[in-house]
Structure formats: structure tokens, C-alpha cells
Amino acid sequence: MRCPRYLAGCFTVVLAFSAFAPLWAVGSPPTLSDASLAIVAQAGGKRLAEPYPLSPSGARVPYGSRVRLTVRAQDVDGDLIAVAASKRLPAGYLQEGLTEEELERDIGHYTILFDHGGSGDAVAGDGIWSREFVVPIDLYKSTERLHLPGTYILRLCAVDSAGNQSSRLDIPLEVVAPEASSGAPPVIERVWTEPEVVSGPPGTPYLLKARVRDADGDVVWVPAVLPEAEGSFQMADDGSLGDQVAGDGVYTRVRMIGDWFDVFGSTERRTEHIVVRAFDAAGNVSDPVTATVEARYDEGDPVLTAPLGAGPRVCDVWCSAHTITPLGVWRVTAQADSPDVYVVIYDIISGYYDLMLDDGCEWDAQRGDGIYSWGDHFRHEPPRLRPYVIYAVPKSGPPVTGAKVTVTLVVVKPSGTE
């Protein structure tokens, strides 16, 4: 396979849990080894026929490329619970007003690797942890312009259930400045939702879509901003996040009413605005386009009020664990007894809704197999019960649901603590 010379290079990763180690250290710490890197897709999500390998001692990667990282994690006690990564931002962010300390902690950004057979991981449970991500790794949240190129440092660390951490593995990743063939900015031709009118109580799912045209074909980032919630999220055209057809120019994100807004005690109708922009590799930005979603909080919550038997049912719910220590990784999967449904998970403690996905990315192992997946990494979780409700609603028609399933995760103190 022929590849341009700028693909040659290396990569690094690291994460520190030093604040926890003095309290938890019991037994032998885990170890990390055999890190490898490969470019699996170009900017815009265009997959390579074969992954292009990179040296893990330092990698040069074109802006907007998708990279796969793998590392072997071993633990003699057999109680490995997480392989995680933090990132250090390039020095160029000093000119943006950040301090050295802020570069080091990357504004608290944090991610995990997987060993469940998804998101680039080949074999579940084989001790080789993996993750795919787009560089520059969606690090510095800004919706006004692209992230800076430069040398990012990924900092990997493995943690066991007693809080022991492996030696830190640093991998520098040089993100090459984006290039474009002309100065024409992208154009957002249309933003819409499916269904066309989104209106309902919290927990009502919908698709947000944007058709993007770019003369250069080098769109690298399509963010959506919720001004009222002061939040943002990324839209996808690579078959993930609810996108149906990869590479068709329609960027998609599956959302639901109430996932960004405080809805407790509210009985008012509320209009939520979503502003979409598109960026190309040269940093040109499209004109913003706004979509609106009406939330009817007075109509009740389907997770609490829908009568049993009124709609699709969830079944075969599986959890990776029933008890977990802080910093642990928890994954849950479910199936539904009907096709064309959304599977929703509801966090009773926080009142937060999220969607379980069957897209073969992140927590999900295989796209389209009917198994919907969701997960979380409990970073600073106090010991307590964490109950969740899982239910399914049809993609079209009223948001009715059948029998709901409640699963409870018990967050416990790590061994060796008082």
C-alpha cells in the first residue's frame, strides 16, 4: 500500500492516578507493554483498505485522521479494572491563554481504552486494550475554530481494583497542520430532525442531521452547540453516533429530549436551540444553521408513566459487573423484542438520559447485531448504589414503551481502604 511520507512517525500515551495510589496500594501493580499505533481512516472518515502502522515511539499524523491505539495490560492478581489515558496539550495553547498546568491536565479531559471486542479492539478479554479516535483527539473544546496542530502527549496507565497503577506510558503524537486545496469554506445546506417536529417529554429520542457540502472534500469537524445548556457535541458521517450511511455528506447525531437540560420540577414547554457549524482542514468555517426542539415537560416521562405492555420491551440485559470500585469501567448491553427502536438508559440518581447504541463504536462490539451497548468509567464515584432503568421506544410514532428493566450497580470502596 502506498502512503505519503508524512504518515511516517510515532505516537505516545499516559495517565496518572497519583492522587489515589497512596490510599489504595495493595498487592502487585499492573503493567503495560507492546503499544502499537495505526492510521485506519483519513480526514472525513474515509477508511483505509489496510491500517497504516506507526511507530509508537513518536508518530506524525495528518490532521483529522482516525488512529487506532492498542496496548497489552497484564495484572498478576487478575483484578485489572481500567486502562485509561489523559492528554497533554501542545505548547501552542500557551498563546491561547492557558497555563503550563492547564496544558498538563488538558482541562480535565480523560478517556479509556477497551477490551470488549469493539472500538478497534479485536478480541474481547484477551488483555489487549484498544481505542480508535480522531486526532487531534477532540481535546480542547472550542466551537469557534479548529483544535491546534502540534505535539499532543497521550498518557496511559492501567489500574487494578486495589488502586495500584502501572508505570506511566507516554506516547508523543505530532498532529500535522491541516492542508486544503482551496479557500472555499464548507456549506451547510440543511439542518433537520427526524421526526421533522421533535416534541415530547424527557427521554424522547430523535435524530439531528446536517447535510454538508464542501468543494474540497476536506471537512474534518461538524460540531453542534446548545447555547442554553452551554454544551456541545460532535456529529458524525462515519456510521457512528446514529449515522446511517457513512460518507454520504449527511452528518448525524442521535439525541434525546432532556439529556442536556435540568428538567426536574419543570412543567413548562421549552424550546431548545441547536446551532450547527462545519470546519474544513484549512480551518474555514461554514455559516451557522440553527435547529429547534420543543420539550413538553408537562406530558410526563415515559420511563416513569408509560403503562406496561404499551410498546417494545427490552430483554437479555447483561452487565459486566454488579459491584465496582471507583475508577472502574462498567458496560451494559441489552436487546429489544422489536426492530426499529431506540434503547434508552436512564440514570435515576442524576436524572440523565442516554442512548444505548448498536453502531460498532465505543462501547458496542458489533454494528447491527441487535445488541445495544452503553458504558461509563466511574472516575471519582463515592461508594453508593447506582440504579439505572433501561427501556425501548419505537423510532416512529408515540414514545411508548413496554416492560422496563432496572439494573443496580454497587460502587464499593477499594480493598485496603478504611
CATH architecture label of 187-300: Sandwich (2.60)
171-202 pLDDT tens trace: 888 988 776 556 788 999 999 988 887 777 77
CATH architecture label of 307-411: Sandwich (2.60)
Q: Residue 300: enclosing H or E segment and its boundaries?
A: none
42-65 pLDDT tens trace: 876 678 889 999 988 778 888 878
User: Is residue 388 predicted with pLDDT exceeding 80?
Assistant: yes
What pLDDT is stored for residue 289 in this prediction?
93
| pTM for the whole structure | 0.74
Domain 307-411 in the same topology as domain 187-300: yes
Question: Where do the structural domains in the chain lie, given as residue ranges?
Answer: 5-176, 187-300, 307-411
Distance CA 227, CA 218 (A): 27
Contact 291, 193 (CB under 8 A): yes
What pLDDT is stored for residue 306 in this prediction?
63
- The answer regarding whether domain 5-176 maps to CATH 2.60.40.10 reads yes
Q: Mean pLDDT over all residues of the chain?
A: 78
379 against 234, higher pLDDT = 234
26-39 pLDDT tens trace: 678 899 999 999 99
User: Is residue 276 predicted with pLDDT exceeding 90?
Assistant: yes
User: Is residue 297 predicted with pLDDT exceeding 80?
Assistant: no
Contact 99, 46 (CB under 8 A): no
Q: What is the mean pLDDT of residues 227-239?
A: 78
Single-letter code of the amino acid located at 27: G
What pLDDT is stored for residue 327 in this prediction?
67
What pLDDT is stored for residue 180 in this prediction?
59
User: Is residue 16 predicted with pLDDT exceeding 60?
Assistant: no
Q: What is the mean pLDDT of residues 229-255?
A: 84
Distance CA 50, CA 234 (A): 26
99 Cβ neighbours under 8 A, 6+ residues apart: none
Contact 161, 26 (CB under 8 A): no
Q: What is the mean pLDDT of residues 4-32?
A: 47
